[in-house]
Structures are given as structure tokens and as C-alpha cells.
Structure 1
Amino acid sequence: MASKRNPNGAGSIWRRRDGRYEARVYVPQPDGTRKRKTVYGSTWDECDAKRQELVLRDRQGIPTPTRSAKLSEWLPYWLEQFVKGELKRTTYAKYETHVRLYLIPHIGSKRLETLGAADVRRMLAAISDQVSAATAKESHRVLRSALTAACREELISRNVVKLVPAPRVQPRELRPWDLDQTLTFLEAARRDPLYAAFVLAVALGLRRGEVLGLRWSDIDLERRTLTVRNQIQRVQNELYADSTKNRRTRVIPLPLMCVPALRWQRLRQAAQRLAAAERWHETDYVFTTRTGRTIEPMNLSRSFQRISDGVGLPRIRLHDARHGCATLLFAAGVPARVVMEILGHSQIAVTMNIYTHVSDDHRREAMGHMDRLLRRRRPE
């Protein structure tokens, strides 16, 4: 058979002494280097087809390991190529933490093709003992996502993590403030510079980052509407503006109680602008420092905690005020779909399963209905 030539850089094919054909092509590795990959075929055409597949993967930037990559090689590559730039920076930071602290230390020496279900189970047990079942469950999710990408890249034929159930986690019991406690907090917060921020968190159920990401251009006090389109986040020592959690913008009607608080905030900020003079940084954010800079999210939480502790309220997180908002809305008879839109959930199941809490009074009232419905009929 006549010898055929391939273009430069596309590898080469030759016939071996045993009659088979062999081709070698330089291909990218998961760690970014390039190494030579060898393929074989019983005929020239079969070997050439395998060579062309390697060349195509190379041109598409798809890694083809000359040997099964270790988890310590694949996981950092997956973070950079599949997570960074595709998902939110907060998600990347969380995944990177699990890869660095838990996955690589426990299974980094394992190769993709040799990782077994038993290895995954041992890893999860070790993380549960080391930290918590909740952390192990999150590591399970991160590893499953990383190996799903490896399956799509045809580096492995199956995802063994799917064979191992994630650890069961006892959900944290949430006890948001009731109506009287919420009113007590708002009364105590009136003297705080961030009073308007707390009003929005309590009355609208805004997330902490969404409160700090509000701009005056997002608020129409005449029409009493507020548009949530941004949030402020701190990730890896950097404070930055980001889109909302589910990347969706939502418009919320403003309750009357929010209007005076926001007008007071505008007057207060104008006074700060005059006092700061040339040191003022114009950002259009509703809530800023004395020089117009973005407020640290943790500082908002600290102020919330200081006020609630000062009046002896049960200690909850600022985010728990969001849970309380949902509960109050449901108690007022607001439909679940409307509550979902106000809170900015992507699925109504989140609203129903997590953000609603039934009080003893409501349970007692419900059972009172059963008394009336099921009481024995009086004899005629």
C-alpha cells in the first residue's frame, strides 16, 4: 500500500513490524502541557481515523491525557476551564475551597479511571468527621459536577460519585422573629444610620447583598417601586458588584412604610456628601459610607446583630429576616407565586419548603376549623 502523508503538526502514521499501523500526535494535557499520544489500527484507514480524532480534539482545545489524569490534575483544570467565567464568582470560590481543602487532600492521588465508589465513601466519611456532614455533602456535589464534566470530555466512561449517596444533613431549625419581635427591632433601629436598609430587609425580604447593591436609579418613590438588579459581594478579599443570585431582575412595589425611610436616607446621604466635599466618591448607591464608598456586607450584619442584642431579641442572622418576611406574607394571605416573585426565588418549591414557618397560633387556628367541620351532628 502506498504511503500517505499528513499535514505538518497532524502527526504521522507508519506500519509496524507486527503488521499494525501506529500514529503519534502531540495533544494538550489537563495541566496545560502537551505530550505525545500514540494510537494503533489494524489498517491505515483505521489508524488515520483515530489520528484525525486526536487532531480535532487538539484544535478544539479538548485535553486528551496520555494517561489517566489524577484528580489533583483534573480538578484545578476543571475549575479554570469549566467553572471560572461560566458560574458566579461566589460559586467558583466555594468550589475552589472544597477542591483545595477536601477533595485533593483525600483523593487527589487517585486517577480518574481508577477512582471507585469505595474511595468516594471513605472521603465523605473523613470530611464528615473532620468538619461536618453538611460540608461533606457539598464536597460530594462539587466532585459529582467535576466528574460529570470529565464524562462529557470522554475522559471517563461513568461518574462513580452518582453511585454514592450524599450524606444526610439535619436541616437547621429556623425560628424567625414573630410580628411583635420584628416591630421591636424596627423601633430600636430607628436611631441607626442603616435604619432604611433594615426596613427593606424586613419588609421586602431582600438579601443582604441586594440591599447594599441598590442604586437610587433603581428606586421610584413617586410610583413606589423598587427594582432589584444587582448585589454587592465580597469574594477572596475583593468587594464587587454582581448580578442577582439567579441573574434575574425583579420589580417590587414599595410598602408605604419604606417611603419615609428612603427619603430620610436620601437627606442623610446628601448631608454626608456636603461634609465629605472632595473626598466623596459618587457611586449612586443608596447605602454608602461617610465618603460614598460601598458598605461592607459584614458591617451591615454586625449592625443588625448589635441592635437586636441591645433589645434582648433572640439571636438570628440578617438573612433570617428574609425568612420572617415570607412567613408574614403567607400569614397575610399572599399567594405563594406572588411571594416567590417578591423574594426572587427561581422555583416555588424553595419558597414553600424553606422560607415559610407556621406559628403555634396558626396551627391552633387550623385545628379549630377541624373542630367545626368534624363535630358530631346534633340529633334532630
Structure 2
Amino acid sequence: MAARKRNPNGAGSIWQRKDGRWEGRVYVPQPDGTRKRKTIYGVTWEDCDEKRQELVRRDRQGIPTPTRSAKLSEWLPYWLEEYIKPQRKRTTYAKYEMHVRLYLVPQLGTRRLETLSTANVRRMVSAVTEQASAATAKESHRVLRTALTAACREELITRNVAQLVPAPRELRPWTLDESLAFLEAARPDPLYPAFVLAIALGLRRGEILGLHWQDVDFERRTLTVRRQLQRGTKELYVDTTKNRRARTVPLPLMCVAPLRWQRLRQAGQRAVAGTDWHDGDYVFTTRTGRPVEPRNLYRSFGRIAVAAGLPRVRLHDTRHGCASLLFAAGVAPRTVMEILGHSQIAVTMNVYTHVNDNHRREAMSHMDRLFKRRK
């Protein structure tokens, strides 16, 4: 048989074994950035060479090919650095990294991608729910599902087992009465206007703290959301909104008076601070004009809710409550989507709307009215 041409450097090599089969070896990139030698086999030289060419193609495209199934403790950090960090916002990377570090690696890190089962994922969800909350477990489940989807695209696994496990149900958002009770309890707090915006407009925490006075138009009664204030590892920074678009929201009357009060209060603080005042035009500031720390807004929210004896929810859950109340009032889905700043209406409909018993009773009361007209 004619001698086979020698493959170029880096393209691997193929030879015939004593048992008649063909064997090849190619150095391939690993998920952790190293390179290891992978062995392939074929009944004929052509079979083995086809497998070799596929490995070389993946190598040239920068696709890792683990010599054995990578552990979750190897794949998840690699996925964060190579997929999330270059393409997503800093806040998204920080949130995903936190879930990987605190929940996913401790619970699933020793499991390999190919052997990860639905039972493993269910146990992780239960453990995180017990350790933190249902909302945290739901987010960890979403991070894992996204990471495994990337592994499927890279052909490291054939199925995403996280998609087969339902995410835990979150705590329900506050009802209208509970929201009113919170606002009444929060009235003496300096951040009361911020809480009004969260409940009435469904603004995100970063959007509230990123507001400038130039974004508030009292004459037209509108508020324009242009940016977010976020906390990085070492600093506060300004970022675009989540969907990278500005939106203008009409201000209900319940928001106007608190914002006017905030402006008067801030003017008094500016006079007291004098030359120590940091003029950044932020609506919500400390006594010296510096932006409010996002964590401090969340802590004040939780403290007031506990003192008022209300069910435990996150500040972000006020967005869910706002959406549900708007839908209950008959507001069109497209309008709710624009108010909340979603890029897709499916997010508004599937994630941010909740139906409680009062909504169901009100809906079914329409049946009484319809059938009474028949009599």
C-alpha cells in the first residue's frame, strides 16, 4: 500500500495497530486553556483520518475538546471567562460568578458534564432553596441551564439536563394592600421616594439610583430612564439600561409629590454641606451628594418590610408586583412591556405577571354579569 502523506505539525498522526485497527493522536485545547493529547480509533485509515480532521477543525476554531468529560468545577469558570465576560454586562457577569462560586460549584463541582443527571440538578435546587431562597435557587438553575446550553453548542454534551428540571417557584409578589402597607411604613424613611418609584413604576434598583434630575420633567409629568448605577468589585459605575435603550415613563401623581419633597430635602443638604457637596445631579444621594450605594437601598427596603410584618420579598419583586397590578387594571401587554423596559414581550407575559385569588375572582365575576344579561 502506498505510504500515507505525513500530516503537518499540529495536525496529529495516524498509524496502524497490531490488531489491524487504525489509531490517531491529536493535541487539542481543554476547557481550562491547556492542551492535551486525545486518542482516536478507526476501522480504516479513512475513518480515523476523518475523526482527526474534525479535531483539528475544532482546534482551529478555538473549540475545546476535553480528553475526558470536564467537571462542572472546570467548565463553569471557563464558561464565565470565555462566554459571559466578553459578551455580557459587568453586572450579569458578577451575578453569574456569584452563583457559580457560592452554589453551583459547591453543589455540582465534582460532577462531570456527561454524567450530570436530572437528580443531581434537583438536589442542587433543593439545597440552594434551603440555604438561601426559592428566588436564589431559580436564578442558580437559570445560570446552570445557560452554561449547559453553551456546552451543548460546543458538542461537549448531547443534552441539557437542566432543561428537564423545572425551576422552583418564587415567592409571590405583594398584593395591592401589602404594597400600600409598605409605603405607609416607609413614609418616614429618607429613601421613601425611591420605594414609590420601585412599586409604582417597577424600576430596577440600578435605574432608580442612576436617575438624574435632568431625567425628571415635572411639567410634562414624565421620567426618562437612561442609565443604571451599579456596584462593581471596587467601585460604583454607570451603565446603560438592561436592554441598552432609554425609555420615557409617565409619572403618576403618587410619584410627583415624593420627588418634589426629595428635591427640597436635597437642597437643604446641599446648603449644609457647602463646599463638601459632590454635585453629580443624582436624584438620590447621601448627605454630601454622593450616589447611594445599591446595597443600602436594598437593606432599607428589607428592614422596613420586616418592621411592617410583610411577607419576605426582594426589592426586584416590586417589578413583578407592578406588572401584575397593571395587567389587573387592564393595561395592554405591549404598554406594560415598555413601562418595565423589557426587550421581549414574552418576558413580560411569562415572568413578570402573577395572578392571585382576587384577580381570579374579579375575572370570573364577569361571567355573572354576562349571564345576567341573558335572563
TM-score (norm 2): 0.77
Please say if residues 178 and 310 of structure 2, whose CA atoms lie closer than 8 Å, have aligned partners that are also in contact.
no
User: Where do residues 267-282 of structure 1 align in structure 2 (5 Å cutoff)?
Assistant: 268-269=265-266, 272-273=269-270, 275-282=272-279
Residue 96 of structure 1 aligns with an amino acid whose one-letter code is E
State the SS of the aligned residue for 1:341: helix
Q: CA RMSD in A?
A: 4.1
Q: 1:53 to 1:352 in 2, by over 3 A?
A: closer
1:56 offset after TM fit, Å?
Answer: 2.4
Q: CA deviation at 1:61?
A: 1.6
Q: Which amino acid aligns with 2:60?
A: R
CA distance in 2, matches of 1:327, 1:74: 38
Q: In structure 2, what is the Cα distance between the partners aligned to 1:22 and 1:33?
A: 23
1:219 is the counterpart of 2:225: no
Q: How far, CA to CA, are the matches of 2:125 and 2:36 in structure 1?
A: 34
**Residues 191-247 of structure 1, C-alpha deviation per residue, up to 9 Å, x if partnerless?**
x54454344334433233211111234334444332212222336565333333444
Q: Assess, with a 3 A threshold, how the Cα gap between structure 1 residues 177 and 322 changes in structure 2: closer, same or farther.
A: farther
Alignment of 1:248-267 (within 5 A): 248-255=245-252, 258-259=255-256, 261-263=258-260, 265-266=262-263
Residue deviations 1:6-38, cap 9 Å, x none?
333333344444555443332211111111223
Q: Which residue of 1 aligns with 2:158?
A: 157
Residues 106-117 of structure 1 aligned to structure 2 (within 5 Å): 106-117=107-118
Q: Does 215-224 or 259-268 show the bigger shift?
A: 259-268
Alignment of 1:226-375 (within 5 A): 226-234=223-231, 238-255=235-252, 258-259=255-256, 261-263=258-260, 265-266=262-263, 268-269=265-266, 272-273=269-270, 275-303=272-300, 318-319=315-316, 322=319, 325-326=322-323, 329=326, 334-345=331-342, 346-347=344-345, 350=348, 354-355=352-353, 363=361, 367=365, 370=368, 373-374=371-372
- Count of residues in correspondence between the two structures: 372
Identity %: 64
Give the structure with higher Rg (CA).
Answer: 1
Measured in 2, the distance between the counterparts of 1:313 and 1:23 equals: 68
Of stretches 57-66 and 174-183 in structure 1, the one that deviates more from structure 2 is 174-183
1: CA distance, partners of 2:30 / 2:12: 16
What TM-score does the superposition give when structure 1 sets the normalisation length?
0.76
Contact 1:137 1:166 in 2 (8 A): no
Deviations 1:153-179 (A, max 9, x none): 1122233344x4336537436334379
Give 2:175's aligned residue: 175
Q: What code does the residue aligned with 1:29 have?
A: Q
